[in-house]
Structure 1
């Protein structure tokens, strides 16, 4: 349909919002961290450098990757933890183990659908009231499917992007609004994938690859926009991890291919992601913003 003169006039007369960047002063939300207390010993400085302070929300919180990293965050001092999941009960034993091992930490489970913006907002506010603040968000919620692109339904494509990409954005948006209201800043971490960096072989998974590549771009956009509020946004790109998602006789041949194409000759174990997660959640990552960390044993070398 031809563009009308009035439509064109409106278009050419528009103005666009501009990002506001921090000036980095000591009074800003991005000022340099205070120096280490002089009274600390070398051991004390080492502990404080990677101390995780405050409270965290983990989406996909009943999954293997979330639970392993939740434990690492608690080991480094996390005070409160909220595990968001569609069905937290399917990892009830593991969650009770966390509560038993860290009796001084407040650990909650919340039934949340990450594609539901209203649920995310309400749940984030609830967690802030229960724990006192929300300081860290790590998005583990995600789905993967292997379907030839010519056979993929529109519904499968949309579901994959709705959960992996839109779900991560809505989670970040809800938590960022809470962090801004608190005036405390914080750290947000997306779980992308090596699939965001190159096409996996042998499995066809165009929707998954696209959903994770979008997270890399989203991470950079939010890191630029939200730094002024003291919010750092980064992403983690794991390689093939040895979890239940990659088990079973049906994918034995694929597992062999993945190992043969990796310089280290194997998949990773979930604990090998915890170092980056602790880094980004702690004071040690205070100047890391808009970065993506590939943890894949060298798979992306090829």
Structure 2
């Protein structure tokens, strides 16, 4: 009974920013549970490479180019996938962070870029795919928030990123409240710092940041993409059928202190 709740057989899932990092891990988790997965990414070559690798492993996957900041492009992808039965699961994972920018020096375009990708993109995708889910009376949306939407990180200065992720959290709750009675659940994950290529590049330039992060984390380590993907799989599946509007912290205890 209980393991069956994680079975995603027959469902179509779309993962934004799914070509690498946390998004790629989410794609793997959903596919392993039986879903047909669409890797939606700004980098079509990387998305295609990921989809090809998944198919070679016996999974069902396809790639599509998508700029989540372009609402018309989002609508076009959502409409095209209706021919395949429509998206049942949406993972809003696409996001950016370019830290170490003091608020008083933050240019307009730096602020707007983070809001456009991290918050506008989540809304555009939730609105477009959610509208179609509502018409069918079912669907699960999982947004990628951050512990940075709950606390203020240090030592990096990133007010723009923190604000965008706090917006994702409240958008999650707002959509969940609007759509709960109509069969569409909306939840979010709030990860700690995760071992990805992006984080590795940051630590290569500023290695002292890792010491601060680990000192502030009860578990004393960073997270792995598969650990976040496991939470996403739970929220996407019927195993979390009573949950909507939840912000699930997966932060190695970071926000406990």
The Cα of 1:94 is off from its aligned counterpart by: 3.2
Match of 2:240 in 1: 285
Instruction: Choose which of 153, 162, 166 in structure 1 pairs with 2:120.
Output: 166
Instruction: Please say if 1:75 is aligned against 2:28.
Output: no
Q: TM-score, normalised by structure 2?
A: 0.95
The Cα of 1:91 is off from its aligned counterpart by: 5.0
Instruction: Please say if 1:223 is aligned against 2:173.
Output: no
The answer as to whether partners of 2:22 and 2:229 remain within 8 angstroms in 1 is no
2:167 aligned counterpart, secondary structure: helix
Match of 1:134 in 2: 87
The Cα of 1:275 is off from its aligned counterpart by: 2.3
Q: What CA deviation, in whole Å up to 9, does each residue of 1:111-154 have, x standing for no partner?
A: 1111111110110111221x222100001111101111111101
Match of 2:141 in 1: 188
The answer as to whether partners of 2:90 and 2:142 remain within 8 angstroms in 1 is yes
2:249 aligned counterpart, secondary structure: strand
Instruction: Please say if 1:111 is aligned against 2:65.
Output: yes
The Cα of 1:226 is off from its aligned counterpart by: 1.0
Q: TM-score, normalised by structure 1?
A: 0.81
The Cα of 1:166 is off from its aligned counterpart by: 0.8
- Which ranges in structure 1 are unaligned for 5 or more consecutive residues? 1-44
- Which ranges in structure 2 are unaligned for 5 or more consecutive residues? none
The Cα of 1:102 is off from its aligned counterpart by: 2.4
Q: What CA deviation, in whole Å up to 9, does each residue of 1:179-209 have, x standing for no partner?
A: 123x141000110000000000000000000
Higher mean C-alpha displacement, 265-274 vs 196-205: 265-274
Q: Please give the alpha-carbon distance, in whole angstroms, between the structure 2 residues aligned to 1:92 and 1:179.
A: 26
Match of 1:297 in 2: 252
Match of 2:220 in 1: 265
Instruction: Please say if 1:211 is aligned against 2:164.
Output: yes
Structure 1 runs (4+) greater than 6 angstroms displaced:
none
2:186 aligned counterpart, secondary structure: strand
Match of 2:42 in 1: 86
Q: Please give the alpha-carbon distance, in whole angstroms, between the structure 2 residues aligned to 1:124 and 1:83.
A: 13
Structure ID, larger Rg: 1
RMSD, matched Cα:
1.3
How many residue pairs are counted as aligned between the two chains? 253
2:155 aligned counterpart, secondary structure: coil
The answer as to whether partners of 1:220 and 1:291 remain within 8 angstroms in 2 is yes
